[in-house]
Amino acid sequence: MAETEIVVGVDGSVPSLSALRLAAAEAERHRSRLRVITAYGRDPRTAREVRQHYTGVVSDALREIRIIAPGVSVAGQAVEGDPTHVLLRAARGARMLVVGSRGGGGFRDLLLGSVSQRVATHATVPVLVVRGGPNTVGRKVVVGVDRSAGSSLVLDAAFEEAAARGVALHAVRAYGFPVPPIPAAITPLPYDPPVVRRHECEGLRETLAPWREKFPEVAILSTVSQAGPARILMELSAGAGVVVVGSHGHSAVVGTLLGSVGLQLLHHAACPVLIAR
């Protein structure tokens, strides 16, 4: 499979319809093919009826795409099997995998902690989990930036999204102060807070510099904050089209692991969340 294909999981539920529509928009932006996948469990007593139902779910999804995104090349398939395994297998080598935050039917109990969480945790490609309202057009891209080795991949994904959407990018760096070994009231702080903040601001500017040159058309906003990374990213998600984070990280954004910052966003963000890989 080429990286020009986007895979979306559907099951006929309202959240999966939102995922389908956002996947179609992503395919249009990135000039990618779209593949629609649904999965269903095996029950020998009702095998024919179940297969017909989910074949119908795919057919309905394809009709929807041809109406809302007629220029997108789209194909679909109903596959018998565990939804997580089916999606992970279908998305190997894809540009992106798109899922709803929850669902029903073939993707029964598609809640975080179930299919969406397992897919976001184990996929080898970027995963876009659709949250929030349906209208994200024209809203900025928010990205969490740390000093980890994977930050380049995260920034690449975020800037590509901002450029494709024609919107600004808001880069966020959260940082904390080291905890002194004995209470601060007894000994002076081993750091100067204004100096630390200035260092973090300069570090973020330096980190963003190569992408400013690579994407000169993208307006850049930046925030450096002592607030916890999950808290500030969730606050900014209220006005964003998508929040982009890495699958793991360290240093300035401490604990950016799926199950920490990423997982909190998947549970609580007010907009779609892109886990970049």
Boundaries of domain holding 165: 140-276
Q: Which amino acid is at 8?
A: V
140: its two tokens = 């900025």
The model's pLDDT over 194-205, given as tens digits with 9 standing for 90+, comes to 887 888 889 899
Per the domain annotation, does 57 fall within a domain? yes
82 and 174 part of one domain: no
The model's pLDDT over 6-59, given as tens digits with 9 standing for 90+, comes to 999 998 888 889 999 999 999 999 999 999 999 988 777 677 888 899 999 999
Please, what is the average pLDDT of the chain? Answer: 84
pLDDT at 3: 58
Report the alpha-carbon distance of residue 221 to residue 213 in Å, rounded.
15
Report the alpha-carbon distance of residue 271 to residue 243 in Å, rounded.
7
pLDDT at 146: 83
150: its two tokens = 């994977």
In 3D, which of 110, 130, 127 has the Cα closest to residue 17?
Answer: 130
148 and 233 part of one domain: yes
Asked if residue 143 has pLDDT above 80, the reply is yes
In 3D, which of 63, 51, 81, 61 has the Cα closest to residue 7?
Answer: 61
Residue with tokens 């070994």: 181
Q: At 180, is the pLDDT very low, low, confident or very high (cuts 50, 70, 90)?
A: low
249 Cβ neighbours under 8 A, 6+ residues apart: 144, 146, 148, 150, 151, 256, 257, 261
Give 87 or 249, the one with higher predicted confidence. 87
Q: Which residue among 130, 150, 183 closes a domain? A: 130
Q: At 66, is the pLDDT very low, low, confident or very high (cuts 50, 70, 90)?
A: very high
Q: At 108, is the pLDDT very low, low, confident or very high (cuts 50, 70, 90)?
A: very low
CATH number where 268 lies: 3.40.50.620
Asked if residue 275 has pLDDT above 90, the reply is yes
pTM listed for this prediction: 0.85
CA distances from 51 to 10, 46, 54, 57, 99 (A): 14, 9, 5, 10, 21
262 and 144 part of one domain: yes
85 Cβ neighbours under 8 A, 6+ residues apart: none
Q: At 186, is the pLDDT very low, low, confident or very high (cuts 50, 70, 90)?
A: low
Per the domain annotation, does 258 fall within a domain? yes
163: its two tokens = 């450029």
- Tally the domains of the chain: 2
Per the domain annotation, does 122 fall within a domain? yes
Report the alpha-carbon distance of residue 264 to residue 231 in Å, rounded.
9
Q: Which residue among 100, 130, 160 closes a domain? A: 130
Beta strands in the chain (DSSP E): 5-9, 33-40, 74-80, 96-100, 127-130, 140-144, 169-174, 220-225, 240-246, 273-276
Residue with tokens 């000169």: 216
